Structure 1
Amino acid sequence: MTSNSIKNFLDERKFNRFHLGVLLWGLFIISFEGYDLVVYGSVVPLLTKEWALTPVQAGVIGSYGLFGMMFGSIILSLLADRFGRKSIIIVSVAFFSIFTTLSGFAREPHLFSWCRFLAGVGFGGALPSVISLITEYIPKSSKNKSITMALCGNQVGGILAPLIGVIVFASLGWRPALWFAIVPLFVIPVMIKTLPESPQFLIRKGKLDVLDATLRKIDPDYKNQLIVEQTSLMEPPVERTPIIGLFKNKLGVSTILFCIVYFMGLLMIYGLNTWLPKLMQSAGYPLISSLGFAIFLNGGALVGTIIIGVIADRKGSKKLVTGLYVLGAICLALLGIKSNIFFLYLLIAIAGVCTMGNQSLLNAFVSQYYPDQVRSTGVGLANGVGRLGGMLGPTLGGILLSQNVSVGLCFLVFALPGVCAAIALLFVKKNNDKYESILSINKNSNVN
């Protein structure tokens, strides 16, 4: 039983109940991560009024969570590649649930900001590990679709946050919207019992009994279907320091380019999620209507993400991701032009697909680009560096609003990073999958 034979076995399976369970866990975790992250954009109009915050101060507070995400994405992803995805996922869920809930009890901005930072550590740790776990277990024919469907949780959370706001703001204020984040804590015991651990991690740690029990859930006759390599030299080397592996074997340039793409993409996403309701208020729409625009932004991303995930499994990811960034930039630029309400909602929905939906597809692309032993680290590093762009987005929006910049120019500023992301993706080299080469060698050897 080797890591390559297990990988090939998992890639070639048909999607079944076990895979559905992994996918639903991923969707649940990402949904509440998305809720806890986006809920700040829903409460910020009320926070600025209650605590007399300037737009710049509100933007900086919004960036605290993203600053925490940067630490979580890089540090916890390194730990996940060394100590297992499952434990890091559980710790991350506990972090963002506890500290988002506690932020609802804060009476002043300083404590609120610290809670957002610590919750952000959990946000950053959960996403790369969930993506890596799904990438390892889901069959190859369904990887893009499954990863993007799980990452639709960002949009589920993004829709749920303003909906909860519409329900509770008028009668109960903004705090209950944050207290809702406690829900995942109650399901952690079930998660501990049912969420599988990374198969590659189990092999490295010699926990073959646990791996055997897990693989039997996928196929009771799995041992007879493993392709066993003819030499142990075909096993990929395990990096003692996984981050170094991101710059070996001609991966270095692509790693840097991915960091640039994530920086630009997350600047667009978190800038919009934080300031879209406020920008629409500034354009003359009431708060409830402005929350409706946020629902359309995330709703468009939710529907579109599923569609583009299916297309990516059939046609490939890179060109699709690149084109969507360009289309998103065009839609954001057009939002600054006065138009009828139907066209406005349509542009916002498409922008949601091309920003948040496209980010989900980008995560699927990057997670399959890197080999197993550095996958969480690769996704985590790109997400971590990308959080710098995510931090810049809310702060940049606050600066623009404080300077009384027109709404049209604000949207144009948030559109330009999409063009930069598309240009960076054009220079990402095609990945030479070592595992496919190994499989090809084995097949040729069997023929001969």
Structure 2
Amino acid sequence: MLNSKVQRVDQFIDSQPMSDYQKRVIFFCFLVAGLDGFDAACVGFVGPAIRQHWHVTAAALSPLFGLGLLGTMAGGILLGPVADRYGRKTVLIASVVVFGFGSLASAFAPDIQYLAALRFLTGIGLGGAMPNSITLTSEYCPERKRSSYVTLMFCGFTIGASAGGLLTAAIVDTVGWQGVFLVGGILPMLLVPFLMVLMPESIRYLLLFGSSAASVRAECIASRIVAPGNVVPRLLADEKIQHSPVRELFSREVALGTLLIWAIFFCSLLIIYLLTSWMPMLLSSAGISLKSAALISMMHQVGAALGSIWLGRQMDRYDSQRVLAWSYLTAVPMLVVCAFAGESKSLIVLAVFALGFLVSGGNIGAYALASGYYPTGNRATGVSWANAVGRIGAALGSVAGGLMMAAGLGIRGIILVLVIPALVATVSLFALGRFRGRLGGGRSGNSTQQAVAADNT
């Protein structure tokens, strides 16, 4: 039996074994992440078919990618604070509806300009869905397993992105590129009713911002989590933030950490997008066939999935910042191997897999790190804005390769340039660890703003 009459919600969740109810929340967030990954990646897979359909140049496809990334940034910036004010579940469902509708409408786009505008709308939904999936997963996990579950949930994105490629190969020749967008729109719409009925709101949010009715809902949800034979104590919320969620990102206690987290996300996604954008040219220069190139590129996604799961477990066992810092530092020699692999297919496969494991896996781990860094009152904002800053790095990475190529820098030089952001991410993570150590942050990424201590109330 639990003897405490009053407990903070984080202490309550930490004191219970992981229940089937909590795993259901993570499962639904995993599904959302999978659909997010599918819709985010599908435009890249159907790009050649769209180009052939409208007889446009490759350059004409740039707005599809650029506006999609811009929409994702806008969605993160706008919807993060909304989620901290009106609830994670509400914004998550609205985001799924938006990107589902955007994908459905894309199937009926009359021209490429209209399609580009719809990709911006789809991006807004994608920008709100993933950070809130991360936030909900984080807030329903005990601290001792938070990183493991967040990274496992995020694997849905990788699986969804890979599924987009497989589905495109299977149906684009028979039903056209429109069929891929139809699937990307119908599946989210089918998921929405289940999310509305079966997905709970965050207990932490209900207690922090809700009315007395919301507190009753929170206790009802807690009764689904509590272990058999235990009783639900009266739950207290985390400490309420004093200002707006955005302003709290720059409060004295967390401002430096916010900037360091932004640097990590910016560098991570710059590396990932530049590397994946120019991977075909790297493989082509090594004399590798198109079929083999596709399989090798998939090794990056396999490495990302395995790396995120392994790193998440290590983050729960050891200092989160150090685990990720060593991951990015180890990526440096792998970048050198990739640059000097030449025509050695085995070295290229090793480097591509390792970079997926270390950098893409590390980036997923960074989401778990960010979700644990901020308190409940601005957690969704913190994760969303970090993701938005990361998308700026992604956009820069997507175009930087072409600019460096135009400046006369070869593919080897372009890959070696990525050593710089890898080192910046490494230094930022070590610095974040020291900063949090001075403020008393825990090994797995506890918020530096402590909740109200009320165990003896």
* TM-score, normalization by structure 2: 0.87
C-alpha distance 222-419 of structure 1, shift in aligned 2 (>3 A): farther
- Contact 2:9-2:238 at 8 Å conserved across structures: no
- Contact 2:19-2:227 at 8 Å conserved across structures: no
Identity of aligned residues (%): 25
- 1:23-67 CA distance string (max 9 Å, x none): 111111111111211223333455556644345x54553222111
1:146 to 133, 144, 149: 149
Establish whether residue 226 from structure 1 lines up as the match of residue 230 from structure 2: no
C-alpha distance 45-410 of structure 1, shift in aligned 2 (>3 A): farther
Give the SS at the match of 1:248. Answer: coil
Establish whether residue 320 from structure 1 lines up as the match of residue 323 from structure 2: yes
2:72 aligned partner, one-letter code: M
2:376 to 372, 379, 403: 372
Match of 1:301 in 2: 304
- 1:232-251 CA distance string (max 9 Å, x none): xx961334411111222421
C-alpha distance 330-212 of structure 1, shift in aligned 2 (>3 A): same
- Contact 2:286-2:343 at 8 Å conserved across structures: no
C-alpha distance 139-199 of structure 1, shift in aligned 2 (>3 A): same
C-alpha distance 235-440 of structure 1, shift in aligned 2 (>3 A): closer
Q: How many angstroms does 1:319 deviate by?
A: 0.8
Aligned counterparts of 2:386 and 2:140: Cα–Cα separation in 1: 22
Report which stretch shifted further, 341-350 or 217-226.
217-226
C-alpha distance 297-357 of structure 1, shift in aligned 2 (>3 A): same
C-alpha RMSD over aligned residues? 3.0
- Count of aligned residue pairs for this structure pair: 440
Give 1:8-407 correspondences, 5 Å limit.
8-47=11-50, 51-54=55-58, 58-106=61-109, 108-182=111-185, 183-203=187-207, 204-206=209-211, 207-219=214-226, 224=231, 226=233, 236-277=239-280, 279-281=282-284, 283-337=286-340, 338-400=342-404, 405-407=409-411
C-alpha distance 269-437 of structure 1, shift in aligned 2 (>3 A): closer
* TM-score, normalization by structure 1: 0.88
Unaligned runs of 5+ in 1: none
Aligned counterparts of 1:438 and 1:16: Cα–Cα separation in 2: 25
Aligned counterparts of 1:27 and 1:197: Cα–Cα separation in 2: 16
Establish whether residue 410 from structure 1 lines up as the match of residue 398 from structure 2: no
Q: How many angstroms does 1:329 deviate by?
A: 3.7
Unaligned runs of 5+ in 2: none
C-alpha distance 194-335 of structure 1, shift in aligned 2 (>3 A): same
- 1:111-140 CA distance string (max 9 Å, x none): 222122111111111122111111111112
Give the SS at the match of 2:8. Answer: helix
Q: How many angstroms does 1:357 deviate by?
A: 1.3
C-alpha distance 287-361 of structure 1, shift in aligned 2 (>3 A): same
